[in-house]
Structure 1
Amino acid sequence: MRKTGFPTMTLFEILLLAGAGIAAGLLNAVAGGGTFLSLPTLIYIGVPPVSANATATLTALPGYISSAWGFRHDMQREGVLALWAIAGVGIAGSVLGALLLIITPGDTFLWVVPWLLLLATVMFAFGPALLRAIQKRGAGSAGIGVSVAAILAVSIYGGYFNGGLGIMLLATFGFIGYSNLHGMNGLKNVLSAVVSLVSAITFIAAGLIAWEPAFVMAISATVGGYLGAIVSRRIVRTDLLRHFVTAIGLIMAAVFFLR
């Protein structure tokens, strides 16, 4: 079990975490990509990389749950897998991903982080276009084996690294036969919540959560998510916001590549 005790934070660190949490909550509610801010901030204040990733996953959970509740009436079965089956595969994948993170040495994860950030940024930037291409193709539902493999793969990714999970799930649902975007968004949030919850429980059991930073960031992210729900109704040019988040992701990836 790793030691994750965290010394008393300074006022600057508390304010930095609170600001990053609010911004991450806003981004997740409006466009996604909040992990691009929360993870680097946690690492910057001294949380070990693996613990920072686990803590960022935990702090994203409240936003996923509230978003899932908002889409509760939109979800319906479209592919060959029932909703309970998708959730079951998601649970299995998230456990595998979380266990993989637990056994990853801190130095190794720090080497992997910029690549994961770059992958998540690329998916965030081109995910909507990929989703439209998949839906335009109209190839119908994928088979059970392909559907299970696709959900399992993205759930393992989500259990290991939460960044970009939402857009990857949307692309996966489009690939396996979903076409109702509202339903896909609802299922995306439910599965994101499931993956994050199972991963967080695994991380807590392994002693990976930095609780003081997590407490500050979780509260501020919840506030940011609530504000984001209000702001999102007034934003007309969401494409500009997506470009902004993409730029943040690229900058953060570059910073970690240069470390």
Structure 2
Amino acid sequence: MEHLVIVFLAGLLAGGINAAAGGGSFVSIPALVFAGLPSVAANASSTVALLPGTIASAWAWRRDFQAFPGMPMRWLVAISLGGGLAGAVLLLVTPQHAFDVLLPWLLLTGTLAFAFGRQLGAALRRRVRIGPGAVLWAQIPLAVYAGYFGGGVGIMMMAVWSLLGETDIRSMSAARTILVSAANAVAVVCFGLAGPVRWPETLTMLVAAVIGGYAGASLARRLPQPWLRGFVIAFSAAMTVVFFRRAYGS
């Protein structure tokens, strides 16, 4: 019962973070691992638990969505669905010990993307321009990553789109939530059918994340975004260090 309390509290925090700044999986996955779930099951369970909040965010952004020139949204959604499925299958066939070693690197990748993705996109935009075709190709590995792990993937997508010359943050945020929801939704179906999800912990976190998401949306209106992003970056960096020590320490 004690571990379910931990999971519930982590779900509240993860849902709030996702609603306010993004990056809730940096909380949910470590919490589930510390609650006793194997890392593969923790990753799958986290994806399931946070999906309703992701879909709710996509619905909230629906009025701000605008299609990018030369990139039909149906193509991007189709790529995201296929890539999400591929990433989910790849996670399911990854041996547990291999994922234990890989998890800290995934956390590091997601943390760096969350911390520096926007700045990198802006810096590259001053030097590089790419066409819609390149963006569609880039969406393939991003969608696979979203289905496999997903930390920081929304920031990665927006950084790539900025190379197209897109600078409307609202329209990019709307597109990001739609595509991340698509990749996560097909991954959830795959995880649910394949059976790595630990349902007591998942349902506990799901309910908490919905509550936290509602509260987080209210909090986001009151606190400066740099504070919220700073907290997520500091927390995810700390978890990255913990999991590196867990995987590689003596």
TM over 0.5: yes
Q: Which residue pairs with 2:21 in the alignment? A: 31
Q: Which residue pairs with 1:5 in the alignment? A: none
Q: Which residue pairs with 2:37 in the alignment? A: 47
Deviations 1:23-69 (A, max 9, x none): 00111111111111100111111111111101111111111111111
User: Structure 2 unaligned runs (5+)?
Assistant: none
Q: Is the 8 A contact 1:79 1:178 kept in 2?
A: no
2:182 pairs with 189, 194, 210, which one?
Answer: 194
Distance 2:43 2:190 in 1: 13
Deviations 1:63-118 (A, max 9, x none): 11111111111111223210111000111111111111010001100100000000
Q: Which residue pairs with 2:192 in the alignment? A: 204
**Residue 143 of structure 1: how far off its partner (Å):** 3.9
Q: Which residue pairs with 1:7 in the alignment? A: none
Q: Secondary structure at the match of 1:33?
A: coil
Q: Secondary structure at the match of 2:64?
A: coil
Distance 1:137 1:220 in 2: 44
Q: Which residue pairs with 2:51 in the alignment? A: 61
User: Structure 1 unaligned runs (5+)?
Assistant: 1-9
**Residue 134 of structure 1: how far off its partner (Å):** 4.3
Deviations 1:138-158 (A, max 9, x none): 83x5142x1222111100000
Letter in 1 for 2:36: G
TM-score, normalization by structure 1: 0.91
Instruction: Kindly indicate whether residue 116 of structure 2 is the aligned counterpart of residue 126 of structure 1.
Output: yes
2:214 pairs with 205, 226, 234, which one?
Answer: 226
CA gap of 1:190–1:201, structure 2 versus 1, over 3 A, is: same
Distance 1:97 1:30 in 2: 26
Percent identical pairs in the alignment equals: 37
Matches within 5 A, 1:126-145: 126-136=116-126, 139=129, 142-144=131-133
Q: Secondary structure at the match of 1:179?
A: coil
Question: Which one is further off, 123-132 or 196-205?
Answer: 123-132
Distance 1:165 1:222 in 2: 21
Q: Is the 8 A contact 2:71 2:132 kept in 1?
A: no
Q: Which residue pairs with 2:5 in the alignment? A: 15
Q: Is the 8 A contact 2:44 2:196 kept in 1?
A: yes
Q: Which residue pairs with 1:245 in the alignment? A: 232
**Residue 18 of structure 1: how far off its partner (Å):** 0.9
